[in-house]
Amino acid sequence: MQRADLARTQRWIEQRRQRAAEEVARCPPPPPPDWVIAYQRTARGSAPHDVHVGGCTMAEERVDLITREQALAALAGGVAACGFCRPDRSPGHQLRGELDGSCGLLPATVHRKVSS
């Protein structure tokens, strides 16, 4: 009796897994966020390190999704722009000119890899 129950439960679990896999296959993954902010560990916790275009491969694991306005505020507040994806100069993600009202060329900041 217990073996029959176990076999029935295992079949049910397998059917659920198959349904879940089919549903995942039907639903495309969400697009990457437009902006992320990476954090660096400090002695007092974590601090914003740099702003990235969503999908940047240089963004560390410790990131938060942010809006365009938050990206602008972070860059204007002194958070560095990633030197790889250049969110302050990327076509389609141009933040330059919105920070200071001028031509918007920000000083280049070399991307530093944050050690975990």
pLDDT digits (tens, 9 = 90+) for 73-107: 898 899 999 999 888 875 555 555 454 443 333 33
Q: CA 57, CA 82: separation in Å to the nearest integer? A: 11
C-alpha dihedral (75, 76, 77, 81), degrees to nearest 10? 20
State pTM to two decimals: 0.55
The residues pairing with 110 across neighbouring beta strands, listed in sequence order, are: none
Note the pLDDT tens digit of each residue in 45-82: 888 999 998 888 888 778 899 988 899 889 889 999 99
Contact 112, 57 (CB under 8 A): no
